[in-house]
Amino acid sequence: SQPFDHLTESYHLILANLRYPTLLKVAAWARDHLVTGGRFLVSGYLAEEAQALETQFRGEGFILEATLVQKRWAAGRFALSVV
């Protein structure tokens, strides 16, 4: 049983303020629960983890739309690819 198993709907927007390893673990769940073209807003990872996070998310079908870096922390807005 996974923490989000009870959530079965599809969403237009999912927000997650989690550390990098946890964001990687929930990426597939987010992909499966976003409508096509939905957005996944993430924060809580370090700026030096941003490139690796983007690469992993791209593999899950996300496209990076925007990034914000403040001090050593990063946030990103990802869209679920329509292809």
What are 13's strand-pairing partners? 39
Tokens 């869209």 belong to residue = 79
Whether the pTM exceeds 0.75: the reply is yes
Better-predicted residue by pLDDT, 37 or 14 = 14
Exposed / middle / buried, residue 82 (Cβ in 10 Å: 0-12, 13-18, 19+): exposed
Structure tokens at 6: 């009870």
Helix axes 20-33, 50-59, angle to 10 degrees: 30
DSSP 26-72: HHHHHHHHEEEEEEEEEEEEEGGGHHHHHHHHHHTTEEEEEEEEETT
**pLDDT tens, 56-71?**
999 999 999 999 999 9
pLDDT on residue 2: 60
Structure tokens at 22: 């946890």
